[in-house]
Amino acid sequence: MTRSFETNLVVWRGITIEIRYEERWLDSDGPYSTAHLELRALEPERAPLPMTETGYRSHFAPASVIAEAGGPVAFVKEWLDQSAASKAWKDKEAAARQMTLF
């Protein structure tokens, strides 16, 4: 079994993110094929993302869902944007911008 990965870099809100995508995880195929995505914040290193506090996320999804979204980059960008719309993420961003005296 030869594994095949696609790796892309995207910059989202000033964070450089590596997207590593394996369309046929464990050599799965057909309508129930499982894909594997890995997200890693590279710069700033381990920067929190809306769906992970650690800057790393492993995610499994049907390969057809990733394809229908326009591929792994489009899927991840949409996922980031949707997750960033949450109150928790907006509060986190606001707190990061707020300077403190202590």
Q: Quick one: 82 exposed, middle or buried, by C-beta within 10 A (0-12, 13-18, 19+)?
A: exposed
Domain with 12 in it: 6-97
Q: Quick one: 16 exposed, middle or buried, by C-beta within 10 A (0-12, 13-18, 19+)?
A: middle
Has residue 1 been placed in a domain? Answer: no
Has residue 14 been placed in a domain? Answer: yes
pLDDT of 17 reads: 99
Has residue 66 been placed in a domain? Answer: yes
Has residue 42 been placed in a domain? Answer: yes
pLDDT of 28 reads: 79
Torsion 73-76-81-84 (CA) sign: negative
Has residue 102 been placed in a domain? Answer: no
Q: How many domains does the chain have?
A: 1
What tens digit of pLDDT does each residue of 21-50 get?
Answer: 999 998 878 878 999 999 999 999 999 999
Has residue 56 been placed in a domain? Answer: yes
Has residue 11 been placed in a domain? Answer: yes
Question: Is the pTM above the cut of 0.85?
Answer: yes
- Residue appearing with tokens 């996320």: 57
